[in-house]
Amino acid sequence: MNQRVYTKDAASLTRFVTTMLWILAGITVVSVGSDVLQLQLLNSGSLDVAAAEANDARQSAIGIVYLIAYLVTAVAFLTWIHRANRNARGFGAEHLRFTPGWAVGWYFVPFMNLVRPYQAMKEIWQASRNPEDWSTQAIPPILGWWWALFLISGFLAQITLRLSVRADTVEALRTSTMVSITAGLVDIPLCIVALTLITNIFQMQTEFLRWSISQ
């Protein structure tokens, strides 16, 4: 058996992505809490100017922090996918359907991004578990949970954005806030499932590398 090697060691990148996912989950918890406070303010029936301005300032600050954390996490996560795919190939996996570039690129293709990224991640999982016989490897439930939460999160994010842009009345803002809270409650488990997923894939690649070298 030929010795297998990482195309590029993913240890530091995996640690960074998991750290960012925890940070993003924490910020999302804070964001949900802030949305709850906003909803309470809207339901109080007494919207004095000072309270409204303080609420807007808090929501804006949290929104900016969340956006920065989300963008950093997204870029790191996509970079990790690219590297995990390359490493699976470096371990000897052949006839993979998705190249490293397209494992990332499909996230940006309308309609196809509803299916192809999941298929690419499934392939990475299988090839990481057993590069030499990857197509026969079983798919764990966590992959389905990750993708379902990802799609629901994206759908709710779109609704939240559209509602917030059009929220020019108290009732409209109340509806937007409630949807935002729901989106946050989906994003928190999504972060946890995603970090579990990439940690498991990294561990499988590490274990296969160690076993391969020992042969």
Q: What is the pLDDT of residue 210?
A: 77
Domain of residue 50, residue span? 11-214
Decide if 4 is inside a domain.
Answer: no
Q: What is the pLDDT of residue 215?
A: 64
Indicate the helix (H) or strand (E) that contains 94: none
Distance of alpha carbon 12 from alpha carbon 15, whole angstroms: 5
Decide if 93 is inside a domain.
Answer: yes
Closest to 156 in 3D by CA, of 141, 177, 174, 173: 177
Task: Tell me the CA end-to-end span of the chain in Å, nearest whole number.
Answer: 7
Cβ burial, residue 159 (10 Å; 0-12/13-18/19+)? middle
Decide if 158 is inside a domain.
Answer: yes
Percent of the chain with pLDDT over 90: 77
Q: What is the pLDDT of residue 1?
A: 42
For the cut 70, the answer to whether the pLDDT of residue 189 exceeds it is yes
Percent of the chain with pLDDT over 70: 94
CB atoms within 10 A of CB 133: 11
> Which amino acid is present at 18?
T
Decide if 2 is inside a domain.
Answer: no
Q: What is the pLDDT of residue 4?
A: 58
In terms of average pLDDT, the best of 91-95, 203-207, 209-213 is 203-207
Decide if 3 is inside a domain.
Answer: no
- Measured in degrees and rounded to the nearest 5, phi and psi for residue 138 equal -70, 155
Q: Average pLDDT of the chain?
A: 92
Closest to 41 in 3D by CA, of 22, 57, 21: 57
pTM given for the model: 0.92
For the cut 70, the answer to whether the pLDDT of residue 74 exceeds it is yes
Q: What is the pLDDT of residue 167?
A: 84
If one counts the domains in the chain, the total is 1
> Which amino acid is present at 117?
P
Model confidence over 96-147: pLDDT tens digits? 999 999 999 999 999 999 999 999 999 999 999 998 899 999 999 999 999 9
How remote is the C-alpha of 201 from its chain's centroid?
A: 15
**Residue 27 · residue 65 · CB < 8 Å:** yes
Residue 19 binned pLDDT confidence (cut-offs 50, 70, 90): very high
Tokens of 197: 């997923």
Q: Which alpha helices (H) appear in the chain, and where do they start and end?
A: 11-44, 49-90, 100-105, 116-129, 141-165, 170-214
Tokens of 33: 């809490």
More confident site: 48 or 193: 193
Decide if 33 is inside a domain.
Answer: yes
Decide if 48 is inside a domain.
Answer: yes
